[in-house]
């Protein structure tokens, strides 16, 4: 197909020259043999096929073998890996941890973003300072965020326990206890990532027509009423978008947890992505890791499509 | 903020004088600004604490209760960290790979988005569907086969190995295509009348009209690539090839309990992007806004 298009390079210009009918796409549509568009798509397509589609296909193949990262002979094992993955209690636990993180982080990240955006939208004179403060953590590398929060969470020397101590309260073990580790990770993640949702909310708020508020004021609506009756209803689409993006993002959590707790204590914070990593790169079992990756990929895709349908229907 | 509630009376009074938002009762405004200011301070606190720790003498970092303002501020921790040299090498690696990812992503995504937006060709609908479907696939699930591919291509521990797989970001094709779709075609038609080829039209007509979205995509690609951890972590084994986040995450562990040094390195690791953010704040804010409203 590359050959085909070489003699077509000049056609769009020629099309408009001869036709002069205005809309180019109409002209092109009538000539099914035009490959110019494909030339434009080709570079991205090459990357896409090589680094996404091909690994996805090959990974599916690996999942039916006992391939090891250490090398050695590879043989076909049928559905053994899939059976092992689906019945593995550790996989169930890591899936559960991922769901717990998602269930805790999504409401926090959506509501916190909404609250901070509402504050910013009203405290206009601090606008620049507030945007800077709330969004700045978003640009930090995950390692930097992890180092800072590990230091603040440090049970014996950290800032948090020292503040609690000064208030006469007992400190927490934070990342070092099975009970509090996940919550601690969620708090740190909210601080780090909420800025993106916050900016989405802020932009949506600032695009609400001013005369709506003015009309409401004239009718005697107070500040709270204006927020409740105008701002929040006008933000519904944005809330749906943010919730969907946040759900998908939270399900993929790995890096900050891996860096802060390593999945511990006692695997209480190991997420599914880390388990895939552990099986493939630590346990060296490529086949098993690939089947787990597919189990997770299917879950993500199903969750995304389900959400899309759910929200698409509610939009109407 | 709670005290902004009983503002209906003044608002009603303001009815005759136009917009009432400027006539908020002072007590409500005061409460609002206090809450806003405290929230912002709370958000900056972790960064401030990291900096406060980093300028302490090492011995002072483990004192309880900790102090915010050391009486002996010192940049010793920074000199120690920089003196090892590796953090400079990692910064260079991050710069090179991030630049590669950003430039390549912009080029291939712009071309693809323009192709899908302006041309019809055989297979276009299902090609577009195939690429958009890729948005759903979490890249982390492909780490194992991607890593094996990289070993087969001999790209482990190379800049290309770090950069190339990160270029595949279907969501940017989608965002750019939507932006291009909204640009009226009249401008392009005029250029085509003058005999400009499709690439020339894209370069000299469409791209200048697309600066805000290009800036947004560029900046977000840059932030994403600079901060990416998992893939560079997998594909680099030699410390001298590691990116800044990977180097800090793996080698720093060896610094153990020298908290001033750990925090100094955290501050150094945070600086490059904080500076980029301060310089491009407006583009980032409008970029998120644009992507959000259209998406």
Determine the Cα–Cα distance for residues A132 and B40; give it in Å rounded to an integer: 9
Q: Residues B147, B278: one domain?
A: yes
Measured between beta carbons, the chain A residues lying within 8 angstroms of B165 are 51
Give the pLDDT confidence of A11-48 residue by residue, as tens digits. 343 343 333 444 444 444 444 457 788 889 999 999 99
DSSP alpha helix (H) spans, B155-258: 159-163, 170-181, 186-193, 198-201, 207-209, 211-227, 230-235, 244-250
Of A34, A126, A141, the CB nearest to B226: A141
DSSP H or E stretch at residue B189:
helix B186-193
Structural domain range at position B185 = 80-294
Is A160 in the same domain as A296? yes
Residue in A17, A59, A133 nearest the CB of B43: A133
Beta-strand runs (E) in chain A:
none
Q: Do B26 and B149 belong together in one domain?
A: no
Q: Are residues A202 and A289 in the same domain?
A: yes
Residue that finishes a domain, picked among B79, B104, B121:
B79
Model ipTM? 0.81
Residues of A in contact with B40 (CB under 8 A): 126, 129-130, 133-134
Q: What is the pLDDT of residue A110?
A: 95
Query: Residue B142: which of A34, A40, A55 has the nearest Cβ?
Result: A55
* Interface with chain B: mutation pick from A217, A220, A221, A257, highest number of B CBs within 10 Å: A217
Q: What is the CATH number of the domain that holds B182?
A: 1.10.3720.10
Q: Is the pLDDT of residue B38 over 70?
A: yes
Same structural domain, A122 and A262: yes
Is A26 within a domain? yes
**Contacting B residues, span 85-144, partner chain A, CB-CB under 8 Å:** 104, 107-109, 111-112, 114-116, 118-124, 127, 130-131, 134, 136-144
**What are residue A68's DSSP bridge partners?**
A285
Distance CA B219, CA B230 (A): 20
Indicate the number of domains in chain B.
Answer: 2
Q: So what's the pLDDT on residue A217?
A: 82
Looking at the fold, whether B222 and B209 belong to one and the same domain comes out as yes
What is the interface size between A and B, counted as CB pairs within 8 Å?
Answer: 349
A59, B142 contact by CB (below 8 A): yes
The answer to whether A77 and A287 have CB atoms below 8 angstroms apart is yes
Tell me, what's the pLDDT at B6?
42
CATH number for the domain spanning A254: value is 1.10.3720.10
Q: Give chain A positions within 8 Å (CB) of B284.
A: 135, 199
Q: What is the pLDDT of residue A51?
A: 92
- B281–A132 CB contact, under 8 Å: yes
Crossing angle for the helix pair B86-118 and B124-133, to the nearest 10 degrees: 150
Q: Which two tokens stand for residue B158?
A: 């190379």
A109 and A229 part of one domain: yes
Tokens of residue A135, six digits: 């969004």
A205 min Cα distance to partner chain B (Å): 10
Instruction: Provide mean pLDDT across the span B200-220.
Output: 86
Q: Report the pLDDT value the prediction gives residue B18, as an integer from 0 to 100.
A: 44
> A252 and A311, same structural domain?
yes
Do A222 and B122 make contact, defined as CB atoms within 8 angstroms?
A: no
Distance of alpha carbon A306 from its chain centroid, rounded? 16
- The verdict on pTM exceeding 0.80 is yes
CA separation for the pair A62, A68 (Å, rounded): 10
Same domain as B114, residue B40: no
Pick the closest to residue B94 from B219, B217, B240, B286 (CA basis): B240
Domain boundary among B45, B79, B113: B79
Residues B189 and A22 sit within 8 Å (Cβ to Cβ): yes
Q: Are residues B73 and B26 in the same domain?
A: yes
C-alpha–C-alpha distance, residues B217 and B224, integer Å? 10
User: A58: domain range?
Assistant: 2-62
Is B77 in the A-facing interface, judged by CB distances under 8 Å? no
Comparing C-alpha atoms, which of B226, B223, B224, B276 is closest to residue B247?
B226
Give the total number of structural domains in chain A.
2
- Domain annotation covers residue A197: yes
Contact A104, A269 (CB under 8 A): no
* Domain end among B60, B79, B98: B79
Residues A98-120: tens digit of each pLDDT: 999 999 999 999 999 999 999 99
Say yes or no: B276 and B262 in one domain. yes
């Amino acid at each position: 197909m590359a050959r085909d298009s070489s003699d077509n390079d000049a056609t769009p210009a020629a099309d408009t020259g001869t036709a002069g009918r205005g809309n180019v796409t109409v002209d092109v549509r009538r000539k099914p043999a035009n490959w110019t568009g494909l030339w434009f798509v080709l570079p991205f397509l090459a990357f896409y096929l090589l680094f996404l589609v091909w690994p996805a296909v090959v990974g599916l193949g690996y999942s039916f073998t006992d391939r090891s990262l250490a090398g050695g002979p590879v043989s076909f094992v049928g559905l053994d890996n899939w059976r092992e993955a689906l019945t593995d209690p550790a996989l169930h636990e890591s899936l559960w941890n991922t769901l717990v993180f998602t269930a805790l982080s999504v409401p926090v990240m959506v509501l916190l973003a909404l609250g901070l955006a509402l504050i910013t939208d009203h405290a206009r004179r601090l606008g620049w300072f507030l945007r800077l403060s709330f969004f700045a953590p978003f640009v930090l590398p995950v390692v930097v965020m992890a180092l800072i929060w590990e230091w603040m969470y440090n049970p014996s020397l950290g800032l948090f326990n020292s503040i609690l101590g000064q208030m006469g309260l007992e400190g927490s073990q934070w990342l070092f206890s099975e009970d509090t580790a996940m919550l601690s990770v969620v708090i740190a993640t909210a601080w780090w990532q909420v800025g993106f949702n916050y900016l989405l909310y802020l932009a949506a708020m600032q695009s609400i027509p001013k005369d709506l508020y003015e009309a409401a004021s004239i009718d005697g609506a107070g500040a709270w009423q204006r927020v409740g009756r105008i701002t929040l209803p006008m933000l519904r689409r944005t809330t749906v978008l943010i919730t969907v993006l946040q759900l998908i993002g939270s399900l993929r959590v790995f890096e900050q947890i891996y860096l802060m707790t390593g999945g511990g204590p006692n695997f209480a914070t190991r997420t599914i992505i880390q388990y895939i990593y552990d099986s493939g790169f630590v346990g060296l079992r490529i086949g098993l890791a690939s089947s787990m990756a597919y189990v997770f990929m299917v879950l993500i895709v199903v969750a995304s499509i389900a959400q899309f349908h759910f929200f698409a229907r509610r939009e109407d | 903020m709670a005290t902004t509630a009983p503002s209906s009376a003044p608002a009603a009074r303001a009815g005759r004088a136009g917009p009432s938002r400027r006539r908020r009762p002072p007590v409500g405004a005061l409460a609002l600004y206090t809450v806003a200011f405290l929230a912002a301070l709370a958000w900056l606190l972790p960064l401030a604490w990291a900096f406060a720790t980093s300028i302490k003498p090492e011995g002072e970092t483990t004192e309880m209760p900790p102090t915010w303002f050391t009486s002996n501020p010192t940049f010793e921790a920074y000199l120690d960290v920089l003196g090892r040299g590796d953090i400079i090498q990692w910064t260079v690696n991050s710069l090179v790979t991030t630049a590669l990812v950003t430039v390549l992503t912009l080029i291939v995504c712009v071309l693809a988005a323009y192709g899908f937006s302006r041309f019809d060709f055989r297979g276009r609908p299902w090609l577009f569907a195939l690429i958009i479907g890729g948005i759903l696939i979490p890249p982390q699930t492909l780490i194992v086969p991607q890593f094996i591919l990289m070993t087969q291509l001999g790209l482990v521990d190379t800049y290309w190995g770090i950069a190339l797989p990160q270029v595949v970001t279907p969501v940017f094709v989608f965002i750019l295509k939507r932006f291009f779709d909204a640009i009226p075609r009249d401008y392009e038609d005029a250029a085509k009348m003058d005999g400009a080829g499709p690439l020339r039209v894209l370069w000299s007509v469409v791209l200048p009209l697309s600066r805000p979205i290009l800036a947004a995509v560029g900046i977000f690609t840059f932030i994403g690539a600079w901060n990416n951890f998992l893939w560079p972590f997998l594909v680099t084994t030699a410390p001298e090839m590691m990116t800044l986040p990977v180097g800090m995450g793996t080698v720093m562990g060896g610094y153990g309990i020298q908290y001033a040094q750990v925090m100094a390195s955290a501050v150094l690791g945070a600086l490059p992007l904080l500076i980029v953010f301060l310089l491009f704040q407006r583009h980032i804010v409008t970029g998120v806004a644009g992507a959000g409203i259209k998406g």
